[in-house]
Amino acid sequence: MAREPLARDLCISVFICILLITHQSTCFYLPGVAPEDFWKGDPLRVKVNKLTSTKTQLPYSYYSLPYCRPKHIFDSAENLGEVLRGDRIENSPYVFKMREPQLCNVACRLILDEKTAKEFKEMIDDEYRVNMILDNLPLVVPIRRLDQEASVVYLHGFLVGLKGQYSGIKEDKYFIHNHLAFVVKYHRDPELELSRIVGFEVTPFSIKHEYEGKWNENTRLTTCDPHAKKLVTSSESPQEVEDKKEIIFTYDVEFEASDVKWAYRWDTYLLMADDQIHWFSIVNSLMIVLFLSGMVAMIMLRTLYRDISKYNQLETQEEAQEETGWKLVHGDVFRPPSNSDLLCVYVGTGVQFFGMTLVTMMFAALGFLSPSNRGGLMTAMLLLWVFMGMLAGYASARLYKMFKGTEWKKISFGTAFIFPATAFAVFFVLNALIWGQKSSGAVPFQTMFALLLLWFGISFPLVFVGGFVGFNKKPAIEDPVKTNKIARQIPEQAWYMNYVCSILIGGILPFGAVFIELFFILTSIWLHQFYYIFGFLFIVFVILIITCAEITIVLCYFRLCSEDYNWWWRSYLTSGSSALYLFLYAVFYFFTKLEISKPISGILYFGYMLLLSYAFFVLTGTIGFYACFWFTRLIYSSVKID
């Protein structure tokens, strides 16, 4: 069943959710757009997806190996997100009939040569898994856990093969999984004969098939013959992968009735046994927020209120000059910083990221971006990034105008170009490396052209539209106090208020608020697991916003009290430094959780994590900047300046 366009998916999902809310129903996610009903005997066409490995992170097309092929191979409909993820969904020779079991079906026969045997061995060495899809459900291998009764873990896809040894022989041999025992679970309508697919499982076997006489289309296998009640139930005589070896690919299909309704069929894939860890993450983050909130409340309600009241009651200028701390720098605190143009560009880019992240998480938390729509999340993020360009141009131009700038087009160009150009350059280099490995994860030329079209055709003009509105249609933001013509000398600061030290301290708590959830995000990305706990993630994101704002305000206040008025860039870098800890954690995760050994795969990992950390820096830095911007304007607008 071809997937409908993302826009139509979203509209239908919104409509369905409105109906559910109207009837006081609850919805966790909306798994797909519309169910498909099957009569008994209707054909079920299995699709094949990419071959994936957690050891190399390089996906390959299913037919990059000499597996059984249909007469004509054609691609299924793909969206932009699927292409960027490396998905290559194609038809397969596996065709079932609804509720009609099949035993010992022969898919094809293959004679290995030296080249194909080597290809299979390399894939087995790298632990590649074969991914298939039936009615938009991915294939899973059920594994029963020994530590818990009636507990089953589902692994996505089955291994191409295994390495092992014959008894009494030390040499490793390669064995291929050439027999697949499929189980299709269905939910039957109690009144009609119609059924809906709610599960797609497989148990792979390696079996050296045998037969009598010469091979032809009507040959009956002696190792797998339903007429003789001889079925494959184990891999006692496995199929070896060597040059000149004959491999016969076979499969069984069993249909199993299930009480699971179609609307809940994805619960198997999204079931979490570690939700207590996520709640611990939320509680841990909330404790950080409460601690910082207490400090901010103490500063705002006690210290600042007392200082402002006392300062406003001073009768003479001489008495005012005797005051120390943040009040003395009122004539310099709103002095434009050095490299103010670059600051405007990064603030605008951060607003673009914030808008994209907030809207994406809201849609995902409400269930509108179901994992059943492969690539939907990434497609939505790209489109939102493009259309949030207007907010980016507006924010950068408004700040630039406050700094008395006049060349708003230059700022708009920088906002539309600097971050996307950096990201695209890194992405292009990494994609060239993937292309050199002949991986299906390499983005084709047409898709690269589409990305450039989105950038220059939509995002660029929208940034300039936003810049025009922000600079020409809106008045400049007025400072609450006047700025002196001569800059005040900043006294020598204590070591803990050092520029680098204070910035590094500021990034610890925002990272601490998200690092537990970060583990699950990295696991979903690099270990090919589904991530669909967007409700938790949205709460953590809100906590991250509060933490970045509060830690920046606290450190900004301490710096102003020590008569250091250079807060513009420091406020951005204070919360933005959490990206450094994110990257260091990515390095730790690489060496402790991943088994990547190939240099190309390592370069891909660190390249993409560097891009992710860069984006996190821009996002958190902008949050801290605006918090500090609001804070300084608030406190200095409360002070009477003669």
Give the 3-state DSSP-derived string for 245-287, with helices as H, strands as E and coil as C.
Answer: CEEEEEEEEEEEECCCCHHHCCHHHHCCCCHHHHHHHHHHHHH
Provide, for the chain, the percentages of residues in helix, strand and coil under a 3-state DSSP scheme, each rounded to the nearest 5. Answer: 50, 15, 35
The total of other beta-carbon atoms located within 10 Å of residue 73's CB is 14
At residue 588, does pLDDT exceed 70? yes
Residue 566 CA, distance from chain mean position: 36
Residue 227 CA, distance from chain mean position: 50
Query: Shortest CA distance to 571 belongs to which of 586, 588, 596, 554?
Result: 554
Q: What is the pLDDT of residue 190?
A: 77
Which helix H or strand E contains 93, and what residues bound it? strand 90-97
Pairing mode, strands 137-138 and 129-134: antiparallel
Token duo for residue 322: 């005797």
State the pLDDT confidence band at 274, using cuts at 50, 70 and 90: low
At residue 63, does pLDDT exceed 70? yes
The total of other beta-carbon atoms located within 10 Å of residue 554's CB is 19
Residue with tokens 């005012």: 320
Q: What is the pLDDT of residue 493?
A: 73
What is the mean predicted confidence (pLDDT) over 194-220? 89
591 Ramachandran zone, left/alpha/beta (phi>0; psi -120 to 50): alpha
Mean of all residue pLDDT scores within the chain = 83
Task: Give dist(CA 162, CA 151) in Å, integer.
Answer: 25
The total of other beta-carbon atoms located within 10 Å of residue 315's CB is 7
Task: Give dist(CA 588, CA 609) in Å, integer.
Answer: 12
Q: What is the pLDDT of residue 11?
A: 41
Q: What is the pLDDT of residue 9?
A: 42
Each residue's pLDDT tens digit, 596-607: 888 999 999 999
The answer to whether the beta carbons of residues 531 and 524 sit under 8 Å apart is: yes
Task: Give dist(CA 285, CA 24) in Å, integer.
Answer: 32
Q: What is the pLDDT of residue 129?
A: 94
State the pLDDT confidence band at 53, using cuts at 50, 70 and 90: very high
Q: 3-state DSSP call for residue 130?
A: strand
Q: How is 285-322 classified by DSSP, letter by letter?
A: HHHHHHHHHHHHHIIIIIIIHHHHHHHHT--SHHHHHT
Q: What is the pLDDT of residue 410?
A: 94
Print the SS3 string covering 168-227. Answer: CCCCCEEEECCEEEEEEEEEECCCCCCEEEEEEEEEEECCCCCECCCCCCCCCECCCECC
Each residue's pLDDT tens digit, 521-571: 898 889 887 777 788 888 889 989 988 998 898 888 888 888 888 889 999
Task: Give dist(CA 507, CA 582) in Å, integer.
Answer: 10
Q: Tell me the percentage of the chain whose pLDDT exceeds 70.
A: 86
Q: What is the pLDDT of residue 88?
A: 84
At residue 639, does pLDDT exceed 90? no
Name which residue leads in pLDDT, 3 or 247.
Answer: 247
At residue 18, does pLDDT exceed 50? no
At residue 338, does pLDDT exceed 80? yes
At residue 12, does pLDDT exceed 70? no
State the pLDDT confidence band at 310, using cuts at 50, 70 and 90: low
Q: 3-state DSSP call for residue 163?
A: strand
Task: Give dist(CA 155, CA 159) in Å, integer.
Answer: 10
How many Cα atoms within 13 Å fall on the side-chain side of residue 22? 6
Q: What is the pLDDT of residue 16?
A: 37
What is the mean predicted confidence (pLDDT) over 373-401? 91
**Which sign does the torsion angle of CA 348, 353, 356, 359 carry?**
negative
Each residue's pLDDT tens digit, 412-470: 999 999 999 999 999 999 999 999 988 988 888 888 999 999 999 999 999 999 999 99
Q: 3-state DSSP call for residue 239?
A: coil
Name which residue leads in pLDDT, 376 or 4.
Answer: 376
At residue 632, does pLDDT exceed 80? yes
Q: What is the pLDDT of residue 458?
A: 94
Each residue's pLDDT tens digit, 36-47: 899 999 999 999
What are the sequence ranges of the domains in the chain? 42-270, 274-304+507-641, 338-474
Task: Give dist(CA 626, CA 478) in Å, integer.
Answer: 16
Q: What is the pLDDT of residue 2?
A: 40
Pairing mode, strands 179-188 and 195-205: antiparallel
Token duo for residue 436: 């050199």
